[in-house]
Structure 1
Amino acid sequence: MTKTVLITGASRGIGRATARLLGAQGWAVGVNYASNRAAAEDTAAEVVRAGGQACVVQGDVADETAVVAMFDAVVAAFGRIDALVNNAGIVAASLPLAEMDYARLKRMFDVNVLGTYLCAREAARRMSTDRGGHGGAIVNVSSAASRLGSPNEYVDYAGSKGAIDTLTIGLAKELGPRGVRVNAVRPGLIDTEIHASGGRADRAAVLGAQTPAGRPGTADEVAEAIVWLLGDAASYVTGALLDVAGGR
């Protein structure tokens, strides 16, 4: 039986790497994107080339109507949903909190916290065995920033990821008796485009060299952890926060 997953923010970085790896394992993948359809279609093509199935679904995770429509579209395409990778997230320019304006803070928490909660809610509604679902797994993409704080860079982003850690722990306890496992990965300095959106394209390379591992990580390395958490090999793992941070 083919398993189906929705990956939010799958048009680039960790989301794309996870989609590609799940495609190689024969999964059907809902590839969510917010604005870059061409990049999402590239991800979907990679999934198909790897051996999986894919559909592309647009939607801003901070928009409740869009989130519901995303899940409905994936179920319509593949008949069911077995997993969610809650990956969509944003970062902004490095600033101390005193310099951050309201619009930045609101958007950060709307996408990174509210969006993640909305997607987790919809997954719970569809996968919980007491609601007619088949059970499943949720992996939330948090960050090492949740325990480091990101001072003078983006304490707003760090705080948003702290909320994701707490969601993971609490929701794992809610959904464990209902057949759904909930875990999180906490990537460290990973070489993806997100650093450029924060104004420091070289951040992962420069700071990654200072980690015990001596280098930044790759999106594929994070994807391996996510895919493991989704799979049967992690059947007794729930409520875990798995650091993929090179010892940082």
Structure 2
Amino acid sequence: MKPVTVITGGSRGIGAATARRLATAGHHVAFSYRRDRTAAAAVLADIEAAGVRGVAVPADTRHPGQVAALFDAAADLGPLTGLVNNAGVTSPIGPFVDLDPADLRDVVDINLVGYVLCAQQAARRMGDGAAIVNVSSAAATLGSPGEYVHYAAVKAATDTLTTGLAKELAPRGIRVNAVAPGIIRTDIHALSGQPDRPDRAAARIPLGRPGEPDEVAGAIAWLLGPDATYTTGTVLRVAGGL
């Protein structure tokens, strides 16, 4: 029986790279997206071209009903074995004192509340041998001063969620880990108002370059796979040395 994995925010960036990577590894994949149907259709076509089944579900992970609908759609593919909590947003980069409360609420609701709601659904449906991977950020320990301190704080909460949930679900044989990407070349930087940020930041990254989504997808695939069966409660940093 093939594994069945849910990925939130699977139409772009790290989520899309992970969907393609897992499909190639033999996973059936259900993924959510917010608005871009064209991008979602392209990812779905690649999943199916890999010889597995896929489903793309429009869903806003802030809403429990839409989260439940995503997991219901995944159930049509088979018993749930994996969740990649990936859907996330930043906000316009700038000083902490200029933070708009509406942007703060979006970052908290999508990056933390959404993760909790999805992890709840997964925990209710998963059995022994299943795994959850939360996409955190190196910002959780770096703090992102002058950029988005609030986002860093929420990602630190993601790490705590990972630790606590790993301990709570371990007796049921469910593993919970996180990856903490550094500066990755995705369109999240354009959405924050600085599309050239990865290239500008290269000089301060010890490896001298930003990362690529596929490099994070590889770490996620490992944490979901058979070589990581004794790994839980871990935050795997994929940040080029940051």
Corresponding position of 2:94: 95
Please point out which of 208, 218, 221 is paired with 2:215. Answer: 221
State the alpha-carbon separation in 2 of the partners of residues 45 and 55 from structure 1.
10
Code of the residue aligned with 1:58 in structure 2: it is: P
What RMSD over aligned residues (CA atoms) do the two structures have, in Å?
Answer: 1.0
Number of aligned residues: 242
Question: Is contact 1:44-1:56 (8 Å) kept?
Answer: yes
Unaligned runs of 5+ in 1: 128-132
Question: Is contact 1:209-1:216 (8 Å) kept?
Answer: no
Residues 174-196 of structure 1: per-residue CA shift (max 9 Å, x gap): 00111100000000010011111
Question: Is contact 2:53-2:77 (8 Å) kept?
Answer: no
Code of the residue aligned with 1:222 in structure 2: it is: V
Question: Is contact 2:13-2:213 (8 Å) kept?
Answer: yes
State the alpha-carbon separation in 1 of the partners of residues 151 and 50 from structure 2.
33
State the alpha-carbon separation in 2 of the partners of residues 114 and 52 from structure 1.
30
Please point out which of 203, 208, 218 is paired with 2:197. Answer: 203
**Worse-matched range after superposition: 49-58 or 39-48:** 49-58
Residues 20-45 of structure 1: per-residue CA shift (max 9 Å, x gap): 01111111000210111221111111
Unaligned runs of 5+ in 2: none
Map 1:138-217 → 2, pairs under 5 A: 138-217=132-211
Question: Is contact 1:25-1:51 (8 Å) kept?
Answer: no
Residues 192-223 of structure 1: per-residue CA shift (max 9 Å, x gap): 11111011111111112321101110000000
State the alpha-carbon separation in 2 of the partners of residues 135 and 125 from structure 1.
14
**Taking every aligned residue pair, what percent have the same amino acid on both sides?**
52
Corresponding position of 1:130: none
Question: Is contact 2:128-2:172 (8 Å) kept?
Answer: no
**Structure 1 residue 236 corresponds to structure 2 residue 230:** yes
Q: TM-score, normalised by structure 2?
A: 0.98
Give runs of ≥4 in structure 1 deviating > 4 Å.
none
Map 1:1-248 → 2, pairs under 5 A: 1-75=1-75, 77-127=76-126, 133-248=127-242
Q: Secondary structure of the equivalent of 2:186? A: coil
Q: CA deviation at 1:134?
A: 4.3
State the alpha-carbon separation in 2 of the partners of residues 109 and 176 from structure 1.
26
Q: TM-score, normalised by structure 1?
A: 0.95
